[in-house]
Amino acid sequence: MKLLNFVLPIVLLMVFQTTAEAQRPKPDQISAENGAITIQPIHHGTLALSWNGTSIYLDPTGGKEAFSGLDKPNLILITDIHGDHMNIETLEALDTESATVVAPQAVKERLPAPLSNKVTVLSNGENIDLMGMGIRAIPMYNLPKDEDSRHPKGRGNGYILTMGGKNVYISGDTEDIEEMRSLTDIDVAFVCMNLPYTMDINQAASAVLDFKPSIVYPFHYRGQDTEVFKDLVNSENEDIEVRLRNWYSE
């Protein structure tokens, strides 16, 4: 009986981890210098990237099991303070011993030690070079720009990662803002679209048509019809590749 009590939780954990891996969409790869960029959707606004031996988690949520089978993170990017982006339980469950966390000041202030001690703070418009890649913090906010906004300007970050000669844009929770529309030379974009927190599909499609990423992934889209988004984009510009992946397995 004692052996059973010891073994059963391990077996259940293995089953749960295997299920989590099976439910994830298959990873995509983007050709780049020094090896391909691997893109692994996880859930909602959470994803994992890897390039040149570096494992990157963006807004890790879902517990340690959500990342089963993936390399432990070397770099963690956090966009904002809300629980679907800054999930302390998940961060504490992950092996972050060798990880650097990049986040805005508002996130650092809410993380417990020792997590907060790992944070390199980036504010909107700032840049840093880490692990052979460039990281630039991009504004993300709701309109109108006021203190009552769910996402006031300056609190959170979108990010542009430059790696292997490719620019990867992660929108964070943003509305249809000029700073996004004016982006240039974006190879891969992850663009949010769910009301009332970010944009609707029409706003997101219009913005994408303005900044013209080579590839765009709609994410953070709970309850939205991404096929409509794809049609809106490609009816105006067939050269933008819209990749639809299932970010909601439940």
In a domain, 12, yes or no: no
User: Is residue 243 one of the residues assigned to a domain?
Assistant: no
Q: Could you tell me if 184 and 211 are in contact, meaning their C-beta atoms sit under 8 angstroms apart?
A: yes
Q: What CATH number is attached to the domain comprising 110? A: 3.60.15.10
> What pLDDT sits at residue 195?
81
Q: What is the pLDDT of residue 150?
A: 81
User: Do 151 and 80 meet the contact criterion of CB atoms below 8 Å apart?
Assistant: yes
pLDDT of residue 21: 85
Q: Is residue 14 part of a domain?
A: no
pLDDT of residue 16: 41
pLDDT attached to residue 197: 83
At 142 the pLDDT is: 87
Quote the CA–CA distance of 75 and 134 in Å, as a whole number: 12
Give the integer Cα–Cα distance in Å for 51 and 36.
6
H or E element: which one contains 166?
strand 166-170
Residue 77 included in any domain: yes
Answer yes or no: is 11 within a domain: no
- Does residue 35 sit within a domain? yes
Domain containing residue 78: 27-235
Residue 248 domain-assigned?
Answer: no
pLDDT for 32-42, tens place per residue? 999 999 999 99
Flag residues of the chain having pLDDT under 50: 8-17
Look at the chain and report how many structural domains it folds into: 1
Predicted TM-score (pTM) of the model is: 0.90
Compute CA distances 214 → 13, 112, 140, 183, whole Å.
39, 39, 21, 12
Q: Is residue 240 one of the residues assigned to a domain?
A: no
Q: Cα–Cα distance between 57 and 77 in angstroms, integer?
A: 6
